[in-house]
Amino acid sequence: MLELTGREVDIRQNANELFQSFTSTTLGGFTEFLRFFTHFTIGITIMIFLIYYLLVDGKQFFEWVKAIIPLSDEIKESLFNEMRSTSWAVIEGHVLVAIIQGLVAGLGLFLTGVPNYFFWTFIMVLLGFIPIFGTFLIWGPATAYLFLIGDVSSALFLAIYGLVIVSLTDNVIRPFAVDRGSDLHPAVILIGVIGGAYVFGAVGLFIGPIMLGIFKSVLLVFKNNYEDL
């Protein structure tokens, strides 16, 4: 090696340093993934409990909230009706879109022979709550995987399928299922999803858009009742 480079190179030492760097990076990545998975699992668990108790005791809770708000009965009724319709539109729309988009993307993985497609389909249903690029976080790397193992035709098929068919479910179904009922712009929904997930974890996927929808409802009701102020 001295003859080729003009300086002495310790191949064993370089190999050890490379291995140590790779090991450190891998362990760091695994630690971050474990932390993310723990937070995500806790968030999903909290979300399930919240949904359960809202279904069981939600009516009593809202009645209590209505009783302590210092507004007239007419304005409170208008406010809660608007909040209720917006919140349910966001929830129902996101659940519907996430399930459809995850299943459609999972079908693409199945058709191209991606391993563990059932598990990745479940993950894509969860990621489907994130507008625009949610399921791409799975089928995008899956396309790269197929290309790296030499299955170019399947990789091309999955890329086209994802960009056209999967994206179509997000661009067509979401506006009808979510935006129409809640009257929220897709950009606002995206901000609510990302911001909610950042602040609240997995449960923020629901809470973020709902909070923005409620905020919009409050502004709308106050505008209609206090526009002379």
pLDDT digits (tens, 9 = 90+) for 82-115: 777 777 777 777 788 888 889 999 999 999 888 8
Could you tell me if 185 and 126 lie in one domain? yes
Q: What is the mean pLDDT of the chain?
A: 74
Q: Are residues 53 and 77 both part of a single domain?
A: no
61 and 54 Cβ atoms separated by less than 8 Å: yes
**Domains: count for the chain:** 2
1 and 110 assigned to the same domain: no
Q: pTM score, two decimals?
A: 0.55
Residues 111 and 211 in one domain: yes
Task: Answer yes or no: do 104 and 188 share one domain.
Answer: yes
SS (H, E, C) 62-117: HHHHHHHCCCCHHHHHHHHHHHHHHHHHHHHHHHHHHHHHHHHHHHHHHHCCCCCH
77 and 50 inside one domain: no
Residue 197 is part of which domain span? 69-226
Eight-class DSSP state of 128: T
CB 204 within 8 A of CB 197: yes
Q: Which of 116, 97, 110 is nearest to 171 (CA)?
A: 97
For residues 114 and 3, membership in a common domain is answered with no
Let me know whether 19 and 55 are in one domain.
yes
Same domain, 48 and 81: no
Summarised one tens digit per residue, pLDDT across range 23-53 is 666 666 667 767 766 766 776 677 667 767 7
**172 shares a domain with 219:** yes
| CA dist., res. 17 & res. 220, Å (int) | 62
9-27 pLDDT, tens per residue? 455 665 566 656 656 666 6
Distance between CA atoms of residues 119 and 46, nearest Å: 22
3-state secondary structure of 133: coil
Residue range 113-136, pLDDT digits in tens: 888 888 889 888 888 877 667 788
Same domain, 90 and 134: yes
